[in-house]
Amino acid sequence: MQRITYRAKASARGAKRRISYILRPSKRLLNTESNIVPAIVSIKVTRFAKTKKLAQISSIALLSLPAESLTTMNTQVPAYDHVMLEETLTIAAVPGDSTYFATDGFQHGFGYDLARNYADELGVKVTLKAYADEEAALRALQSGDADMALTTASTQLKSQLNLSSINVSCGYDASLTKNGLHPKVSWTFNSANDPLSQKASYFLCDSIKLDNTQKLAAFYNQDLLKDAYSQDHFKATLTEKLPDYQSSFEEQARNYNHDWELLVAMGYQESHLDANAVSPTGVRGIMMLTNNTAKAMGVSDRVDPYQSIGGGARYLEQMKTDFADVPKTDRIWFALAAYNMGPNAVKGIQRKLSAKGIDDKSWANIYAYLSDNKASNSRYGQAMHYVSNIRSYLETIKTATV
């Protein structure tokens, strides 16, 4: 490839023209297959010349690129620069109980939630690419198809591929294992020297963030159905009782835009799918509706399975609407917490977090607040277990592991 050099220009206009030229491949390069440089060609450059963003992005690129990038187009753009230019963090991940789980049109999971929080701190979006195994995900990272990988791959495999990784627990593996999570779930990068990797290390190992990571691990606890009694009870209930109500769950889920298996998980949490269940406080039926909630949802007979499921589905949809400003990935957890303790209680927590400058639309932050204050308010502890249990039941139903 012909070596291209540039004359240094002192003016801002010259600097803009120079960085635009660096980022835009020439027609000759685009037409010569052997000379294409994927890391440069893949960057989508829009009309920066007349925007304020040009100055910001140009400064980032000029300061971050190695000096030789100004004289050759063979140097790979650092992952951090690519992420900031594209405003997207692309993650190669392997599905698992410690990484991410997808259902009901949204993605969640311990490792994935941490990665979303990191992307939020960078001010970028997240794109997740799923791979069947650890090596495939790491090779996607190595080839430039992703900016980072979320896996539980062995240290040996990552070393063989010459990749750098950070354990998301920052060395506090016991906080993961006690919650049934994989102790070596990690974020992997092409280089330890890339700012994307360095900033990730600071993010994960910050004392406050580390404390919240441990609380998030508790929410994603995988041990709920690990003992034989719980497994047998759950399996027996789904086998013996669910067939009688499945059509009602499916129909009411369609009526109110839910995943029907989410409603089943709620029904198991509420009553173990017992249509005649009654609590000491007077809530009744499969979805354990209060008398007031039943009336508000148009339910005349709380022990009628179809009506009870419909009332619960309608109320859950109302809770989702109440938290429509929360990103979809977290919205269902907000809605479930509100279903359990009331929407005003959740909104009150949001106001307290917002007053402290904390993101009040992140479930991780809401859960951390519940955890920190459960000793002084029993409702907080109940809401924590309620949402976490339903998440666990849903994942178990989806993966048919019981």
**Residue labelled with tokens 């009628």:** 304
| CA pseudo-torsion sign 137, 139, 145, 150 | positive
Helical residues (DSSP H) of 65-148, grouped into ranges: 79-86, 110-122, 134-143
Three-state secondary structure call for residue 70 = helix
Taking the C-alpha atoms of residue 112 and residue 95, their distance in angstroms, rounded to an integer, is 10
Q: Which of 251, 270, 317, 395 is catalytic?
A: 270
* Maximum distance among all Cα pairs of the chain, rounded to whole angstroms: 82
Buried b (16+ CB within 10 A) or exposed e, 168-200: bbbebbebbeebbbbbbbbbbbbeeebbbbeeb
Residue 287 and residue 264: Cα distance in Å, rounded? 9
* Helix H or strand E encompassing 255: helix 242-255
CB neighbour class for 38 (10 Å; exposed up to 12, middle 13-18, buried from 19): exposed
CA–CA distance, 21 with 45 (Å, rounded to integer): 10
- 270 is known as an active-site residue: yes
Q: How many CB atoms lie within 10 A of CB 376?
A: 7
Q: What three-state secondary structure class fits 126?
A: strand
Sheet containing 186-189: which strands, arranged edge to edge? 125-130, 88-93, 148-151, 186-189, 164-167
Active-site annotation, residues: 270
